[in-house]
Amino acid sequence: MTGRQSAAADRNRFTAETERFRRELLAHCYRMVGSAHDAEDLVQETYLRAWRSYEGFEGRASIRSWLYRIATNVCLTAGRPRPIRVLPSGLAGPHDGPPSQVAPGEVAWLEPFPNTWTTDDPAATAVARESLRLALIASLQHLPPRQRAILILREVLAFSAPETAKILGTTTAAVKSGLQRARARLEELEPQPGELLEPTDERARALLDGYITAFERSDPNLLEKVLRTDATLEATPFHSWYAGKQNCLDMLADHVLGTPGDWRMIATEANGQPAAAVYHRTDGTLQAHGIVVLAPTTTGVTRVTEFHDPALVVLFGFPDLLTG
pLDDT (0 to 100) of residue 58: 73
What domains can be seen in the chain, in order of their start residue?
A: 10-79+114-189 (1.20.140.160), 202-322 (3.10.450.50)
pLDDT (0 to 100) of residue 189: 80
pLDDT tens, position by position, 16-60? 999 999 999 999 999 999 999 999 999 999 999 999 998 888 777
pLDDT over threshold 90, residue 293: yes
320 residue type, one letter: D
pTM equals 0.91
Compare 125 and 180 and report the one with higher pLDDT.
180
